[in-house]
C-alpha cells in the first residue's frame, strides 16, 4: 500500500476519480461497485482509456489534464480485494477492453 501509480505516457484527461472508499468498503455508485478508489483517464487525442482501481488514494480530480509520469494515486486495498494491488484496465480507441501488455504503453 502506498506505491505511486504513474500516469501512462502522453496527455490524459481525468474522466472520473472516485476517492471515498475506505478499507474494503465500496463507493455506492453502480459504475464503480467493488473497485474502491479508482481513476478513469481518457486520451483526448486518441479516445483510449485507462482505469486504475483499488487505490489507497486518488491524487487527481475530474476534468484535470495530466501528463505521463505524473502520479495519479497510490496503490491500495480498497473495494473488493484480498490484498494490496492496483488493477489496470486499457480500452482501445474503439472502447474495447484489451490486454494492456499488447498496448503501445507496455513498451
**pLDDT tens-digit readout, 11-26:** 999 998 876 665 555 5
Residue carrying C-alpha cell 483526448: 44
pLDDT at 46 over 70: yes
pTM: 0.86
Look over the chain and give the mean of its residue pLDDT values, rounded to a whole number.
86
pLDDT-based confidence at 60, cuts 50/70/90? very high
Pick from 73, 68, 64: nearest CA to 39:
73
Q: Supply the pLDDT for residue 103.
A: 81
- Where on the phi/psi map is residue 63: left (φ > 0), alpha (ψ -120 to 50), or beta? left
**Rounded distance, CA 86 to CA 89, Å?**
10
Amino acid at each position: 500500500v502506498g506505491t505511486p501509480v504513474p500516469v501512462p505516457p502522453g496527455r490524459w484527461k481525468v474522466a472520473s476519480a472516485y476517492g471515498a472508499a475506505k478499507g474494503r468498503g465500496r463507493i455506492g455508485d453502480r459504475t464503480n461497485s467493488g473497485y474502491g478508489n479508482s481513476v478513469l483517464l481518457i486520451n483526448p487525442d486518441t479516445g483510449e482509456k485507462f482505469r486504475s482501481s483499488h487505490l489507497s488514494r486518488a491524487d487527481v480530480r475530474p476534468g484535470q489534464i495530466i501528463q505521463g509520469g505524473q502520479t495519479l494515486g497510490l496503490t491500495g486495498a480498497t473495494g473488493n480485494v484480498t490484498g494490496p494491488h492496483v488493477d489496470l484496465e486499457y480500452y482501445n480507441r474503439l472502447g474495447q477492453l484489451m490486454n494492456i501488455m499488447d498496448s503501445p504503453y507496455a513498451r
